[in-house]
Amino acid sequence: MTANQEILRPVKDITDKNFGVIIAFLLPGFVLLWGLSFSNTGISRWLTEASAPSIGGFLYATLASLALGLLISAVRWLIVDRFLKYVTALPEINFAKLKEDAETFAVFQGIIENHYRYYQYYSNTFVAVIIAFVAYLVFGNSRPSVWLWLAVILLGITLLLASRDSLHKYHVRASQIST
């Protein structure tokens, strides 16, 4: 295997097992990293150095995005999860029933990949956009236009509604197999 093939191998190995992690943590983490680049010249220079992209830079961006994504997920748990459980009636999931047979557990895994991972993406991205926009407001060099405010508000509402829908679908389907 050549060096280029070894570098591209992780890209080819994206499966249903790691796609959920990519959308739930890596993409929201990169959204925040990119958003922070507008208010931090170091991050901005680092992300826009198109003249000499490197494997090290790609790896660093990936690891930084993943780390930020996991931190975002903790903030999501603290704020968004609690808010949505307060404003949305969610059916209970009997996790003990999921241990009974492998087929039930496989169906549950499918529900996680088809609904919960998207909930994590929407809600984590909501948190990332809000944090990035606040950083832009505090540290940015220019004042945001009315259109940017409107875009962030509409995007936030859309992501929050999509989060609520995905979380509700996850709970409904998981409760159906765990009863």
Q: Of 105, 89, 114, which Cα lies nearest the Cα of 178?
A: 105
Nearest of 147, 149, 69, 161 to residue 119 by alpha carbon = 161
pLDDT < 50: residue spans in the chain: 1, 3-9, 11-12
For residue 8, the model assigns a pLDDT of 46
pTM, two decimals, is 0.83
pLDDT of residue 3: 44
Supply the mean pLDDT for the chain.
84
Q: Which residues contact 119 (CB under 8 A, 6 or more apart)?
A: 163, 166, 167, 170
Note the pLDDT of residue 17.
65
